[in-house]
């Protein structure tokens, strides 16, 4: 198979894109990513920005004949090896099973799903999780104590862990807070201590027991034993090479082994041993005064991660000195990690695993290599940052969960190099190897873990268009990596297009397929595009795996992804309110067979919201979707959305079922 669209055609389109301004809504930028686009991308390295690589790439791929890729798909997946289902998925002849009538882009304040489907609310910000004391939600009487016992704000990642027929745990990340939508008359110049403390408790993660009733669908279980809140103050400990390092020590934790809380938890992943690995993304925004850090080496590392000089937007440093880098220069090093916890044990201590590196972690996707080692795929979601992989030292033992829960404590971190001929290599980030010398600031592996971005710069990794979710196909083993967008690609003074990021001012994003060379632990891989997103009716630069573009639904800013049991890819978006001036949505696209690339919109969300995450129930009769920050960009007094109850906007998890109870997508 050859590509029917030549991405080199994209190059003249540079003049069609109007500005290099951040195009996401200003409030989204402010609270979600801490205005990343408003300051220069912190990656000033010179890695990989060959101007005309796209042309070379396409011509070489035609010579290589990439039809071989489909036949070469792996048979190693999330649970190890797949049998008949894999063969069926690889035959290319099976139907996708997707027969729903697509919905259209919309801008009204209602959830829209295809005919024959219905959406319902499962849980909202502020809903109580515990019985005693009662913590019913009253937006005008909110306290930090109540919030610590309620569902948090801005539900992002969703995980589904079946416990028994019709019983499961729902995992939800609470990525960030929108105080102007949480507090009436919020004064961003003078937040109160009570407001700041409510926000600290509104961050983190919720574990919620849910039950399926025969007729009423899913309900969450108030007071269930498994229910748990992890917040911005929950104690946790460090593992791995950087634990206890002098740069990890603070006045409150002279050991460098313990920390309070997890912040800006974006996406996550469920490991094969049933733990959750949740990811700290835009942690820089909670800290102030990097310009006053006395140690210039520390200040430079903080700058590489985007820590601001002066006051932070949130101003938490006024009430909690650990967020003031001038007073606690090391506290910033204690965020930006992958956090593992056991959802089956509400009393367990979460652990921040330093071996997996420190960057703006988007998500984790964990699979088992042929030799039993655990392999974790991860993205660093900022413009021109990198795709990573971790390979554990130890081996997965299906009969020893306790041992598996230590696999993330030691291993090798790699960063991806995408070559322009459709091949790629995982470059090891190991102190003492190549440029990672003491002279370059890496005397031990601890420094590699703390300053991972700089290590990746030095080894020559490929600078990507904001790596968001990365997931492994459960049947084929192909790795799907989402690049959400990058408005600065190819603009003045910024890296130009390259083979894996072929569109200048990439406003709509793209999805890459990574095909490991025989095993997830292999040193090399091949890669190709599944999608280059946008509206084909208006944008010649789109690509949908060769499928007839006149039939597909327009899509922009893909963010999180999951697979249904038939192997179709489902995508949630974060950015269409700006790029299309329409609401974000959920899409489904087959990745194999005759409908490969046939992208169809399944759901339209509400104004100001992103569809932050999506996950299927164990039998695919329910799709859970998180509706994050409805009405973002407005205020509580003048909200653009009244989702979900026609009153104050509240982030919520919804679930969608067929009215006849059938499989989602059919
Ligand atoms: Fe929180 Fe990268 O999305
Ligand atoms: Ca995301
Ligand atoms: Ca997002």
- Residue 602 contacts residue 103 (beta carbons within 8 Å): yes
Confidence class for position 201, pLDDT limits 50, 70, 90: very high
| Average pLDDT of span 650-655 | 98
- pTM, rounded to two decimals: 0.90
Contacting residues for 17 by C-beta, under 8 A, at least 6 apart: 487, 504, 505, 507
The H or E element spanning position 63 is helix 53-64
Confidence class for position 59, pLDDT limits 50, 70, 90: very low
491: left (phi over 0), alpha (psi -120 to 50) or beta: beta
| Average pLDDT of span 104-110 | 98
Q: Residue 159 C-alpha to ligand 2 middle, in angstroms? A: 14
Task: List pLDDT tens digits, range 506-556.
Answer: 999 999 999 999 999 999 999 999 999 999 999 989 999 999 999 999 999
Whether 385 lines ligand 1, by a CB cut-off of 6 Å, is no
Distances (CA, A) of 467 to 30, 483, 485: 20, 5, 9
Q: In the Cβ-directed half-sphere of 460, how many Cα atoms lie within 13 Å?
A: 8
What pLDDT is stored for residue 39 in this prediction?
62
What percent of the chain clears pLDDT 90, i.e. is strictly above it? 84
Q: What are phi and psi of 274, to 5 degrees?
A: 85, 15
Pairing assessment for the beta strands 524-532 and 423-428 based on DSSP bridges: antiparallel
Whether 127 lines ligand 1, by a CB cut-off of 6 Å, is no
Whether 468 lines ligand 1, by a CB cut-off of 6 Å, is yes
- Residue 426 contacts residue 525 (beta carbons within 8 Å): yes
3-state secondary structure of 14: helix
Which ligand is nearest the CA of 285, by number? 1
What pLDDT is stored for residue 540 in this prediction?
86
User: Which residues pair with residue 139 across a beta bridge?
Assistant: none
Q: Residue 175 C-alpha to ligand 1 middle, in angstroms? A: 8
* Ligand 1 atom closest to Cα of residue 32: 1
Residue 10 has pLDDT above 60, yes or no: no
Task: List pLDDT tens digits, range 403-418.
Answer: 999 999 999 999 999 9
What pLDDT is stored for residue 12 in this prediction?
25
| Average pLDDT of span 102-121 | 98
| Average pLDDT of span 486-507 | 97
Distance of CA 200 to the CA centre of its chain: 21
Q: pLDDT higher for 448 or 3?
A: 448
In whole angstroms, give the CA distance from residue 186 to residue 321. 22
Whether residue 644 is preceded by a cis peptide bond, meaning omega within 30 degrees of 0, is: yes
- Strand ranges inside 476-609, DSSP E: 479-483, 510-516, 524-532, 543-544, 558-563, 569-573, 585-589, 600-604
Nearest of 353, 360, 357 to residue 283 by alpha carbon: 360
* Per-residue DSSP letter, 227: -
What pLDDT is stored for residue 132 in this prediction?
82
Q: Residue 33 C-alpha to ligand 1 middle, in angstroms? A: 8
Whether residue 97 is preceded by a cis peptide bond, meaning omega within 30 degrees of 0, is: no
| Average pLDDT of span 54-81 | 38
Task: List pLDDT tens digits, range 136-145.
Answer: 899 999 999 9
What pLDDT is stored for residue 45 in this prediction?
60
* Ligand 1 atom closest to Cα of residue 175: 1
In this structure, the residue with its CA closest to atom 1 of ligand 1 is 266
In whole angstroms, give the CA distance from residue 48 to residue 229. 42
Confidence class for position 95, pLDDT limits 50, 70, 90: confident
Residue 475 has pLDDT above 70, yes or no: yes
Task: List pLDDT tens digits, range 325-367.
Answer: 999 999 999 999 999 999 999 999 999 999 999 999 999 999 9
Which ligand is nearest the CA of 266, by number? 1
**What angle separates helix 296-304 from helix 452-459, to the nearest 10 degrees?**
70
In whole angstroms, give the CA distance from residue 443 to residue 355. 16
* Ligand 1 atom closest to Cα of residue 33: 1
Whether 362 lines ligand 1, by a CB cut-off of 6 Å, is yes
* Ligand 1 atom closest to Cα of residue 559: 3
From 27-36, 150-159, 179-188, the region with the lowest mean pLDDT: 27-36
Residue 21 has pLDDT above 80, yes or no: no
Whether 266 lines ligand 1, by a CB cut-off of 6 Å, is yes
Confidence class for position 157, pLDDT limits 50, 70, 90: very high
Q: pLDDT higher for 33 or 461?
A: 461
Which ligand is nearest the CA of 282, by number? 1
What pLDDT is stored for residue 53 in this prediction?
41
Whether 175 lines ligand 1, by a CB cut-off of 6 Å, is yes
Whether 381 lines ligand 1, by a CB cut-off of 6 Å, is yes
Confidence class for position 37, pLDDT limits 50, 70, 90: low
- Give the 3-state secondary structure of 177-226: CCHHHHCCCCCCCCCCHHHHHHHHHHCEEEEEEEEEECCCEEEECCCCCC
Whether 382 lines ligand 1, by a CB cut-off of 6 Å, is no
Residues with CB under 5 A from ligand 3 (ion): 559, 574
What pLDDT is stored for residue 44 in this prediction?
59
Residue 72 has pLDDT above 80, yes or no: no
Report the 10 Å Cβ neighbour count for 92: 12
Residues with CB under 5 A from ligand 2 (ion): 266, 468, 559
* Per-residue DSSP letter, 407: G
Whether 564 lines ligand 1, by a CB cut-off of 6 Å, is no
Pairing assessment for the beta strands 510-516 and 479-483 based on DSSP bridges: antiparallel
Whether 648 lines ligand 1, by a CB cut-off of 6 Å, is no
Of 47-61, 76-90, 91-105, 211-225, which has the strongest mean pLDDT?
A: 211-225
Report the 10 Å Cβ neighbour count for 195: 22
Q: Residue 266 C-alpha to ligand 3 middle, in angstroms? A: 7
Whether 465 lines ligand 1, by a CB cut-off of 6 Å, is no
Tally of helices (H runs) and strands (E runs) in the chain: 12, 33
Q: Residue 493 C-alpha to ligand 1 middle, in angstroms? A: 25
In whole angstroms, give the CA distance from residue 623 to residue 618. 10
Got the DSSP string for 617-648? Answer: -TTSS-EEEEEESTTBTB-GGG-S--TTTTSS
| Two tokens, residue 541 | 């630069």
Residue 25 has pLDDT above 70, yes or no: no
In whole angstroms, give the CA distance from residue 213 to residue 501. 46
Q: Residue 265 C-alpha to ligand 1 middle, in angstroms? A: 9
Task: List pLDDT tens digits, range 366-384.
Answer: 999 999 999 999 999 999 9
| Average pLDDT of span 236-264 | 98
Q: Residue 661 C-alpha to ligand 1 middle, in angstroms? A: 32
In this structure, the residue with its CA closest to atom 3 of ligand 1 is 266
């Amino acid at each position: 198979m050859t590509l029917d669209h030549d991405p080199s055609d994209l190059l003249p389109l540079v003049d069609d894109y109007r500005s290099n301004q951040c195009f996401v809504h200003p409030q989204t930028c402010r609270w979600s990513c801490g205005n990343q686009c408003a300051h220069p991308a912190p990656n000033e390295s010179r890695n990989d920005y060959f101007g005309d690589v796209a042309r070379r790439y396409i011509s070489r791929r035609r010579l290589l004949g990439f039809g071989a890729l489909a036949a070469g798909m792996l048979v190693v997946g999330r649970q190890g090896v797949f049998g008949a289902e894999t063969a069926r998925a690889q035959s290319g002849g099976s139907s996708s099973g997707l027969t729903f009538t697509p919905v259209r882009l919309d801008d009204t304040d209602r959830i829209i799903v295809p005919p024959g489907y219905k959406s319902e609310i499962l849980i909202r910000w502020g809903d109580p999780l515990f019985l005693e004391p009662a913590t019913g939600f009253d937006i005008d009487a909110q306290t930090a104590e109540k919030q610590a016992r309620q569902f948090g704000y801005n539900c992002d990642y969703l995980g589904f862990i079946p416990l028994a027929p019709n019983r499961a745990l729902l995992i939800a990340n609470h990525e960030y807070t929108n105080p102007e939508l949480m507090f009436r008359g919020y004064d961003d110049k003078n937040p109160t201590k009570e407001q700041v403390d409510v926000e600290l408790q509104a961050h983190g993660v919720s574990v919620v027991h849910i039950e399926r009733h025969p007729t009423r669908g899913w309900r969450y279980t108030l007071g269930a034993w498994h229910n748990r809140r992890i917040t911005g103050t929950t104690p946790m400990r460090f593992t791995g090479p950087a634990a206890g390092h002098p740069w990890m020590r603070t006045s409150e934790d002279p050991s460098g082994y313990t920390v309070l809380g997890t912040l800006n938890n974006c996406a996550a992943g469920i490991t094969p041993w049933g733990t959750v690995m949740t990811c700290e993304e835009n942690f820089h925004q909670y800290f102030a005064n990097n310009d006053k850090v006395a140690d210039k080496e520390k200040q430079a590392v903080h700058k590489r991660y985007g820590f601001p000089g002066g006051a932070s937007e949130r101003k938490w440093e006024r009430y909690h000195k650990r967020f003031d880098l001038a007073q606690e220069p090391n506290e910033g090093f204690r965020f930006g990690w992958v956090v593992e916890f056991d959802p089956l044990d509400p009393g367990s201590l979460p652990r921040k695993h330093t071996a997996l590196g420190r960057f703006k972690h988007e998500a984790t996707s964990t699979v088992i290599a042929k030799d039993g080692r655990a392999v974790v795929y991860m993205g660093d979601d900022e413009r021109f940052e990198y795709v990573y992989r971790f390979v554990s030292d130890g081996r997965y033992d299906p009969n020893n969960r306790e041992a598996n829960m230590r696999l993330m404590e030691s291993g090798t971190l790699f960063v991806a190099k995408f070559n322009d001929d459709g091949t790629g290599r995982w470059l090891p980030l190991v102190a003492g190897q190549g440029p990672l010398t003491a002279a370059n600031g890496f005397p031990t592996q601890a420094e590699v873990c703390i300053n991972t971005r700089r290590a990746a710069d030095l080894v020559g990794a490929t600078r990507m268009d904001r790596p968001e979710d990365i997931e492994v196909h459960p049947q084929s083993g192909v790795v799907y990596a989402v690049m959400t967008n990058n408005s600065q690609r190819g603009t003045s003074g910024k890296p130009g297009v390259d083979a894996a990021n072929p569109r200048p001012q990439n406003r709509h994003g793209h999805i890459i397929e990574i095909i490991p060379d025989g095993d997830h632990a292999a040193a090399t891989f091949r890669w190709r595009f599944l999608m280059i997103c946008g509206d084909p009716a208006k944008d010649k630069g789109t690509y949908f795996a060769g499928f007839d573009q006149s039939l597909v639904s327009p899509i922009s800013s893909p963010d999180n992804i999951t697979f249904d049991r038939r192997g179709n890819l489902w995508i949630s978006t974060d950015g269409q309110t700006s790029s299309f001036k329409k609401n974000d949505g959920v899409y489904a696209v087959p990745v194999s067979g005759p409908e490969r690339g046939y992208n169809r919109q399944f759901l339209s969300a509400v104004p100001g919201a992103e569809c932050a995450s999506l996950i299927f129930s164990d039998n695919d009769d329910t799709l859970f979707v998180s509706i994050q920050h409805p009405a973002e960009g407005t205020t509580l007094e003048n909200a653009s959305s009244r989702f979900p109850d026609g009153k104050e906007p509240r982030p919520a998890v919804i679930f969608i079922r067929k009215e006849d109870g059938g499989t989602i997508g059919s």
